[in-house]
Amino acid sequence: MDEMIVLKNLTKSFGEVIKTEVLHDISVALQRGTMTAIVGPSGSGKTTLLNIISLLDSPSSGTLIIDGQDFSAGDIDRYAKYRNAHIGFIFQFHYLLPEFTALENILIPYWIQSGRPPVHVVQRALQLMKEIDILPIRDKYPHQISGGEQQRVAVARALVHEPKMVFADEPTGNLDRETGFAVLEVMTRMVRELGTTLILVTHDREIALRAERILELVDGRICKSFLVKEVGEEKTRQLLEDRSCLL
């Protein structure tokens, strides 16, 4: 496997007069076609890191390489162009547009990037809806469907243009256990079948255990970084419980 995302000595600060550094000297390489879980306590910098590697924000210093391209400089227009073409997003809140049906919401990324979706893209959207059991709600509006159905629509929306990478911030946080694992199964299957690189932030240890790599952030630094298969499930659970830093 080759490297999809490489960070070298990356930092992020906020503020003009008084600068507050929230990410400190982050260096890590994430492999293409794998699932990485980012864990850590609230305020540890998880979402900030996710925003940077998904090109929603730029680093203050350091190197950011994505798919062999250098994005360290923070070119907003270049960020947007790459995001629209190659990245899908799933958030804790679905952010569906209320005036569009479930199917129309799923097709929005294609509309933004390329205009009116051709028949094969619509068929792909319908197939995704079938796979995650929301085909019957294709013509319903967000206020007419349940929270679990809304989140599944958001998952399908992130996948419809078959992105190289999908970034998920607490994607199952508002779902019941059964629905959450159903949504996660769709995402992990996507990694296996399409070779998509999936990076998610989660507080749920059971979800983190499904990943190939786990990164733990504490106070804006990588505290642990390991491959689940290498250490085994039992040791992984111990590492997730252990509050000490290994790095």
User: What is the CATH number for 75?
Assistant: 3.40.50.300
Average confidence score pLDDT of the chain: 89
**What does the pLDDT read at residue 1?**
55
Q: Which long-range contacts (CB under 8 A, 24 or more apart) does 169-172 make?
A: 169/47, 169/50, 169/90, 169/91, 169/92, 169/200, 169/201, 170/91, 170/92, 170/201, 170/202, 170/203, 171/90, 171/91, 171/92, 171/200, 171/202, 172/202, 172/204, 172/207
Q: From CA 116, how far away is CA 237, in angstroms rounded?
A: 47
Confidence at residue 162, expressed as pLDDT on a 0 to 100 scale: 85
pLDDT at 136: 95
Residue 156, pLDDT above cutoff 80: yes
Say if 133 falls within a structural domain: yes
Question: What is residue 73's predicted lDDT score, i.e. its pLDDT?
Answer: 85
Number of domains in the chain: 1
pLDDT, tens digit, 9 for 90 and up, residues 162-214: 889 999 988 877 777 777 787 788 788 877 888 899 999 998 888 899 899 99
Contacts of 214 (CB under 8 A, 6+ apart): 36, 37, 39, 208, 224, 225, 226, 228, 236, 239, 240
The enclosing H or E element of 5 equals strand 3-14
Domain that holds residue 217: 3-241
Is the pLDDT at 247 greater than 70? The verdict is no
**247 in a domain, yes or no?**
no
In a domain, 246, yes or no: no
User: Any idea which residue has 């799933």 for tokens?
Assistant: 90
Mean pLDDT computed over 113-130: 88
- The rounded percent of the chain whose pLDDT value lies above 70 is 99
Whether 193 maps to a domain, the answer reads yes
| Strand stretches in 40-86, DSSP E | 61-66, 69-70
User: Is position 155 within any domain?
Assistant: yes
Task: Report the 10 Å Cβ neighbour count for 183.
Answer: 22
Look at the pTM and tell me if it is higher than 0.85: yes
Residue 83 has pLDDT above 60, yes or no: yes
Identify the band that residue 221 occupies on the pLDDT scale cut at 50, 70 and 90.
very high
Q: Partners of 28 in the beta sheet?
A: 7
Q: Is the predicted pLDDT of residue 243 greater than 80, yes or no?
A: no
Which of the pair, 133 or 46, is modelled with greater confidence? 46
Summarised one tens digit per residue, pLDDT across range 7-17 is 999 999 998 78
